[in-house]
């Protein structure tokens, strides 16, 4: 009897029932699960010896066999071939019992639908560090929009919304951003000899300043450039009235609060960054502001006297930039030198040091005026301003700035033409002006602009001061800005201004004439390479803006959060593109670990890894 049972079981294993082959799965050295594994499965054999082995319950008791015979156990249901559909009977395609413990039914780890989405950051670094990274990204972000009433009242295309953010590397940060909403009361063209009609003329002023040698110069420019521009917009008769009253109100070291008839509202609140730049012993309002007012007073006098000609907005922006830089250098000498007397009496050593530091340090920058349907750019140095245009649902980059450095033939030619032949070989040393400074146009930098005699008086008390080698015919750095005027056409959708700390993550040869062969690159490598160009940056921002239009139409919070996760979007467009910038590793790939590493560095190590990053995006409509 036992011999017959063994033979029957052997036949079942070899041929199966009704000619069906048994499904045999070989044992693996790595079991599919910790507690269970398949050894052999036959659709007709119900003995636990052949169907399932549980390491914890390996005994073939009567109760276990009874459970298998009476119904499903652990999710297994025996399959009777007679109950199969006709197309599966007498076939090897027998559907397998559903095993809830099999790997295919185990829910996989959730993966971020977008490589730049940070919703899974907790799985990489933990909740505390993930929250810290998100807080660092969003700490300095700013956003604003124009109300519907202002948009209805204006006649021209202009600013609709803006986003801005910065991530510090230097301590304190040397970058600054400019965001001003200006208005001035002017006489309307509808006025006549009987009736005078006034109207409010509105404009916006945005910019990014990248300081070097300290953040003092960049901070002062960000605080004063708006007043210098708006002074050029005041009618000459109003300036004359202002000068008469202002001269009567000067008494000793105080000014009565008499201002020119314009309003300028600061859109960015970066007071903390400025407070960390100066020593605590210097009070900007009480100790510095009177001297700044005096310089602005002289500028307005030159405009009223006709010495400064303002014909259009290009002249206004150019004169504001150049006059402010000249005043910074002049103040460094007048108020920074110990032996130079002033009407302000004896200044403290901290105040004199302040004026010297502002003149000694420097800053490059891109400043943009948006007014009456026109965009006017004033640019110095190596920051960049790029426009985003949309033509036939395709985003295109339009770079309007130009780097001012040794690499540009035009700049080298200009520098060589301004100095004698015997200095041609010493103007640029290792690609830098006199071997010191990379940009050839900038604010400040008195040690590369002012005559040697004046420098010796300014830094008489500075024991570390030393004149640069071959310093013979200054200035070696110019304050003449690159000027451009562009109409806000219907295809012009937005503008991005960013410091070189942002753009340096995008290789320069990708943005110039591309000489590298691309045939050998895969499609994925070409897409990554394209994403690191200015065109790729514009496409990323453009897709973000398109997604925001869809997002604004969604009502459910779950759908909105899910949509943002799929597209890897942040609430602030500038924060989103800075996040993408920080994710780029040395191979050009997006890596969240690169973002984590960059934002987790100690302040003393950050400058080795990257520079300050500042970005402002302006949406037009």
The 3-state secondary structure of 374-414 reads: EEEEEEECCCEEEEEEEECCEEEEEECCCCCCCCCHHHHHH
- Looking at per-residue pLDDT, the higher value among 281 and 362 belongs to 362
Residue 502: in which H helix or E strand, if any?
A: helix 500-503
Model pLDDT, residue 461 = 78
Model pLDDT, residue 67 = 43
In 3D space, the residue among 499, 363, 377 whose CA is nearest the CA of residue 443 turns out to be 363
Quote the CA–CA distance of 36 and 49 in Å, as a whole number: 14
Q: What is the mean pLDDT of residues 179-190?
A: 81
- pLDDT surpassing 90 at residue 323: yes
Q: Which residue has the tokens 């010493």?
A: 426
Domains and CATH numbers, the chain: 2-105 (no CATH), 118-169+374-401+485-621 (no CATH), 196-372 (3.60.40.10)
Quote the CA–CA distance of 437 and 425 in Å, as a whole number: 16
pLDDT tens profile 484-535:
999 999 999 999 999 999 998 865 434 444 444 555 666 666 666 666 788 9
β-strand pairing of 394-399 with 374-380: unpaired
Do residues 396 and 410 make contact, with C-beta atoms less than 8 angstroms apart? Answer: no
- pLDDT surpassing 70 at residue 43: no
The pair of structure tokens assigned to 74 is 């652990």
Percent of the chain residues past pLDDT 90, beyond the cut: 46
pLDDT tens profile 577-600:
999 999 988 777 788 999 999 998
Model pLDDT, residue 169 = 93
Secondary structure (3-state) at 180: strand
Quote the CA–CA distance of 328 and 495 in Å, as a whole number: 29
Q: What is the mean pLDDT of residues 338-352?
A: 75
Q: How far is CA 247 from CA 255, 260, 344, 391, in A?
A: 9, 13, 16, 55
Residues facing residue 384 across a β-bridge? 498
Residues facing residue 161 across a β-bridge? 145, 619
End-to-end CA distance of the chain: 93
- pLDDT surpassing 50 at residue 200: yes
Q: What is the mean pLDDT of residues 114-141?
A: 89
DSSP 194: S
Helices marked H in 397-494: 409-417, 452-458
pLDDT band at residue 80 using 50, 70 and 90 as cut-offs:
low
Quote the CA–CA distance of 358 and 329 in Å, as a whole number: 8
Which range of 93-97, 188-192, 427-431, 563-567 scores highest in mean pLDDT? It is 427-431
pLDDT band at residue 190 using 50, 70 and 90 as cut-offs:
low
Model pLDDT, residue 329 = 96
The CA angle 506-166-355, to the nearest 5 degrees, is 110
Residue 247: in which H helix or E strand, if any?
A: helix 236-249
Model pLDDT, residue 361 = 97
pLDDT band at residue 285 using 50, 70 and 90 as cut-offs:
confident
In 3D space, the residue among 183, 197, 320 whose CA is nearest the CA of residue 262 turns out to be 183
* Cα 473 from chain centre: 39
Do residues 582 and 594 make contact, with C-beta atoms less than 8 angstroms apart? Answer: yes
Model pLDDT, residue 574 = 96
- Looking at per-residue pLDDT, the higher value among 297 and 52 belongs to 297
Model pLDDT, residue 70 = 46
In 3D space, the residue among 323, 328, 375 whose CA is nearest the CA of residue 206 turns out to be 375
Model pLDDT, residue 366 = 98
Q: What is the mean pLDDT of residues 263-290?
A: 81
Do residues 416 and 427 make contact, with C-beta atoms less than 8 angstroms apart? Answer: yes
Model pLDDT, residue 529 = 65
pLDDT tens profile 459-489:
887 877 888 988 999 999 999 999 999 999 9
The CA angle 542-392-563, to the nearest 5 degrees, is 35
Model pLDDT, residue 530 = 64
Does the pTM of the predicted model rise above 0.95? Answer: no
Size (the chain), residues = 621
Model pLDDT, residue 54 = 41
Quote the CA–CA distance of 452 and 487 in Å, as a whole number: 44
Residues facing residue 232 across a β-bridge? none
Helices marked H in 42-174: 48-51, 62-70, 121-125, 127-138, 148-153
Residue 211: in which H helix or E strand, if any?
A: strand 198-212
Poorest-confidence range of 175-189, 277-291, 338-352, 504-518? 504-518
- pLDDT surpassing 70 at residue 561: yes
Return the sign of the alpha-carbon dihedral for residues 293, 218, 448, 314.
negative
Residues facing residue 364 across a β-bridge? 210
The pair of structure tokens assigned to 226 is 């708006």
- pLDDT surpassing 90 at residue 552: no
Secondary structure (3-state) at 8: helix
Q: What is the mean pLDDT of residues 226-232?
A: 95
Return the sign of the alpha-carbon dihedral for residues 488, 492, 495, 500.
negative
How crowded is residue 89: how many other Cβ atoms within 10 Å of its Cβ?
13
The pair of structure tokens assigned to 570 is 């942040």
Return the sign of the alpha-carbon dihedral for residues 337, 340, 343, 346.
positive
Q: What is the mean pLDDT of residues 167-177?
A: 93
- Percent of residues in the chain assigned helix, strand, coil, to nearest 5: 40, 20, 40
Model pLDDT, residue 342 = 61
- Looking at per-residue pLDDT, the higher value among 391 and 25 belongs to 391
Quote the CA–CA distance of 126 and 248 in Å, as a whole number: 65
Q: How far is CA 570 from CA 142, 169, 339, 553, 578, in A?
A: 13, 22, 55, 17, 10
Average pLDDT score over the chain: 79
The pair of structure tokens assigned to 423 is 């200095």
Quote the CA–CA distance of 210 and 365 in Å, as a whole number: 6
- pLDDT surpassing 80 at residue 549: yes
Exposure on the CB side of residue 445, measured as CA atoms within 13 A: 26
DSSP 45: -
Quote the CA–CA distance of 234 and 42 in Å, as a whole number: 94
pLDDT band at residue 85 using 50, 70 and 90 as cut-offs:
low
- pLDDT surpassing 80 at residue 417: yes
Enumerate residues 6+ apart whose C-beta is below 8 A from 444.
Answer: 213, 217, 325, 328, 329, 358, 359, 360, 361, 362, 363
Q: What is the mean pLDDT of residues 307-333?
A: 96
Model pLDDT, residue 590 = 83
């Amino acid at each position: 009897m036992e011999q017959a049972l063994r033979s029957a079981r052997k036949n079942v294993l070899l041929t199966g029932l009704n000619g069906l082959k048994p499904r045999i799965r070989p044992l693996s050295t790595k079991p599919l699960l910790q507690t269970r594994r398949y050894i052999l499965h036959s659709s007709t054999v119900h003995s636990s010896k052949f169907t399932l082995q549980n390491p914890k319950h390996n005994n073939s008791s009567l109760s276990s066999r009874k459970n298998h015979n009476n119904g499903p156990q652990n999710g297994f249901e025996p399959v009777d071939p007679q109950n199969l559909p006709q197309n599966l009977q007498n076939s090897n395609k027998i559907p397998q019992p559903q095993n809830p413990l099999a790997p295919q039914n185990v829910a996989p780890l959730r993966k971020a639908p977008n490589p730049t989405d940070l919703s899974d950051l907790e799985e990489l670094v933990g909740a505390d560090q993930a929250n810290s990274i998100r807080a660092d990204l969003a700490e300095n972000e700013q956003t604003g929009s124009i109300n519907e009433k202002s948009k209805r009242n204006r006649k021209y295309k202009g600013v609709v919304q803006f986003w801005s953010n910065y991530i510090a590397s230097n301590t304190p940060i040397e970058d600054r951003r400019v965001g001003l909403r200006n208005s001035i009361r002017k006489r309307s063209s509808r006025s006549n000899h009987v009736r005078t009609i006034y109207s409010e003329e509105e404009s916006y002023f945005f910019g990014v300043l990248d300081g070097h040698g300290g953040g003092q110069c960049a901070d002062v420019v960000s605080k004063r450039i708006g007043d210098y521009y708006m002074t050029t917009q005041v009618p000459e008769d109003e300036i004359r009235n202002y000068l008469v009253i202002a001269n009567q109100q000067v008494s000793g070291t105080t000014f009565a609060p008499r201002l020119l008839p314009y309003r300028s509202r600061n859109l960015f609140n970066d007071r903390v960054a400025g407070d960390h730049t100066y020593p605590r012993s210097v009070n900007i309002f009480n100790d510095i502001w009177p001297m700044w007012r005096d310089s602005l007073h002289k500028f307005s006098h030159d405009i009223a006297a006709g010495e400064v000609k303002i014909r259009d907005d290009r002249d206004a922006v150019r004169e504001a930039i150049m006059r402010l830089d000249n005043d910074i250098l002049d103040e460094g000498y007048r108020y920074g030198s110990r032996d130079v007397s002033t009407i302000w009496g004896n200044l403290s050593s901290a105040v004199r040091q302040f004026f010297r530091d502002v003149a000694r340090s420097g800053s490059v920058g891109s400043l943009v005026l948006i007014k009456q349907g026109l965009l006017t750019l004033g640019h110095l140095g190596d920051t960049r301003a790029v426009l985003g245009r949309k033509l036939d649902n395709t985003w295109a980059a339009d770079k309007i700035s130009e780097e001012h450095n040794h690499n540009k033939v035009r700049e080298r030619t200009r520098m060589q033409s301004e100095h004698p032949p015997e200095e041609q070989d010493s103007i640029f040393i290792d690609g830098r002006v006199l071997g010191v400074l990379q940009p050839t146009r900038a604010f400040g930098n008195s040690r590369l602009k002012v005559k040697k005699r004046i420098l010796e008086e300014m830094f008489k008390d500075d024991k570390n001061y030393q004149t640069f080698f071959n310093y013979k015919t200054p200035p070696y750095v110019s304050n003449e800005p690159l000027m451009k005027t562009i109409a806000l056409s219907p295809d012009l959708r937005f503008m991005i201004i960013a410091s070189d700390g942002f753009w340096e993550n995008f290789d320069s040869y990708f943005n110039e004439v591309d000489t590298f062969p691309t045939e050998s690159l895969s499609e994925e490598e070409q897409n990554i390479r394209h994403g690191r160009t200015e065109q790729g940056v514009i496409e990323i921002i453009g897709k973000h803006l398109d997604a925001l239009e869809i997002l604004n139409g969604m009502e459910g919070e779950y759908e909105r959060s899910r949509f943002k996760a799929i597209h890897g979007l942040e609430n602030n467009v500038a924060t989103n593109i800075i996040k993408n910038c920080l994710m780029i590793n040395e191979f050009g790939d997006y890596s969240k670990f690169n973002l984590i590493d960059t934002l987790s560095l100690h302040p003393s190590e950050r400058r080795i890894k990257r520079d300050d990053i500042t970005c402002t995006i302006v949406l037009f409509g």
